[in-house]
Amino acid sequence: MDVFLIGVISYLMGSIPFGFLLTKIFLNKDIREIGSGNIGATNVIRTGNKTIGYSTLILDILKAVAPVIYVKIFYQDFLYIASLCAFLGHVFPVWLKFKGGKGVATYVGILFAINFYFGIIFIISWFATFFISKFSSLSSLIGAASIPIYLLILNQFNQVIFFTIMFVLIFFTHRENIKRLKNKEETETKIY
């Protein structure tokens, strides 16, 4: 399969805006007009409907798992291209004028698809940070940073570059959260 086709299919799968679709279908609301206006699971939870919120989370994870696992099995050389394109699809979906989510759930799907242990490390880092801080944004940043650090410790330099790029992208999508964290204006997240 052509690398261009792999990139496009991965992008299109990643770009499915489940948060937008589920809130529109089941709540008759536009998630972009609620809370932060973000289409991701954290903002969907702010609608008060936890079922829709957690469904968004699961689907945003799975939409990355599907293309990345497929490419991992059949086109190993293009694994990181498929991963990056799925992530960019979520953050910049063509269907919503390139205004998407922050990419964390999709990144979690990528991690589990590439290496199950990477996903576990992220989850542990995320929950440890969340239980201390109560900030989903900070937890996501620490979780994303934990992967390249873990790889550096293991001397897996061939993978460090890709996961550092992913951390930088997540840092970018959280730039407003970082400003609020710095100014002590970030809102605590209630996940249960």
**pLDDT class for 34, splitting at 50, 70, 90?**
confident
**pLDDT class for 191, splitting at 50, 70, 90?**
low
Please give the mean pLDDT across all residues of the chain.
93
Query: Region 67-92: what's the mean pLDDT?
Result: 96
The label of the residue with tokens 């798992």 reads 65
**pLDDT class for 46, splitting at 50, 70, 90?**
confident
**Residue 192 pLDDT exceeds 60:** no
Per-residue model confidence (pLDDT) at position 21: 95
**pLDDT class for 35, splitting at 50, 70, 90?**
confident
Per-residue model confidence (pLDDT) at position 1: 64
CB 90 within 8 A of CB 103: yes
Quote the pTM value: 0.93
Beta-carbon contacts of residue 25 (< 8 Å; ≥ 6 apart): none
How far apart CA 165 and CA 184 sit, in angstroms, is: 27
Q: Report which residue type is found at 86.
A: A
Candidates 92, 113, 108, 85; CA nearest to 39 is 92
Q: How many CA atoms lie within 13 A of 10 on its CB side?
A: 31
